[in-house]
Amino acid sequence: MVYPSLEKGGTANKLPRPFGVGSFYIVKNRVLVKGGNRMENQELSMPTKYDPEKIESGRYQWWLDGKFFEAKDDKTKEPYTIVIPPPNVTGKLHLGHAWDTALQDILTRMKRMQGYDVLWLPGMDHAGIATQAKVEGKLREEGKSRYDLGREKFLEESWKWKEEYAGFIRNQWAKIGLGLDYSRERFTLDQGLNDAVNEVFITLYKKGLIYRGEYIINWDPQNQNCPF
């Protein structure tokens, strides 16, 4: 609030009462702060533009260090869980990922404020055939093929690709500021997930709910495999 009596050399005596302890008034580009029984006239400096690097720097790491996004397994609270649609490690995130995860971030933050025990589970998909094509493309640029490397060396190159692009994806999640519980992050080739998939399919097969048979496939003549 701007008081005319202070715009051109006015005095603080004309400010409305009461003037509580620790209170202040903004007067154009100056701030009047009560200190004891007197008013101090201090210069107020405010940037004209938003500087995201200055404002946001370190804030996300502070959230992670405080474990604000980790589910607490609190039995007194109602759980609320979202599993992030795992992006493929074939490349970096795009605008569609940003839009989708922004909506999930809004939901999980709202539910935390409403008192739920929230788990937003992060993870990534190995996207086997697509990642293989990416790695083979990288090898071709180096004048090599997977046959030159052999199975084990090619797998090593594939895991290097995964680690590199998983790092890119995590950095992008951090830039957006997503409230993910990284302590539970999963990858679709984790041993636990592999065991779970095997158990489910074997159980369904034994119960006669699924069967094994021949069907038409899509054959990739370049990679010499079936992508689906």
DSSP states of 82-122 = EE--PPBTTS---HHHHHHHHHHHHHHHHHHHTT-EEEEE-
pLDDT at 53: 85
For 83: left if phi > 0, alpha if psi spans -120 to 50, otherwise beta; the answer is: beta
pLDDT at 5: 44
pLDDT at 29: 54
pLDDT at 7: 44
Contact 183, 190 (CB under 8 A): no
Does an H or E element contain 33, and which?
A: strand 30-35
In angstroms, rounded to a whole number, what is the distance separating the alpha carbons of residues 122 and 144?
A: 34
Cβ-in-10-Å burial (0-12, 13-18, 19+) of 180 comes to: buried
pLDDT at 116: 97
Contact 124, 87 (CB under 8 A): yes
pLDDT at 143: 93
pLDDT at 4: 45
Residue ranges in the chain modelled with pLDDT below 50: 1-15, 17-21
In angstroms, rounded to a whole number, what is the distance separating the alpha carbons of residues 107 and 101?
A: 10
pLDDT at 127: 86
In angstroms, rounded to a whole number, what is the distance separating the alpha carbons of residues 164 and 178?
A: 20
Three-state DSSP at 225 gives: strand
Contact 124, 169 (CB under 8 A): yes
Three-state DSSP at 42 gives: strand
**Measuring CA to CA, how many Å separate 29 from each of 15, 17, 216?**
17, 22, 74
pTM of structure = 0.71
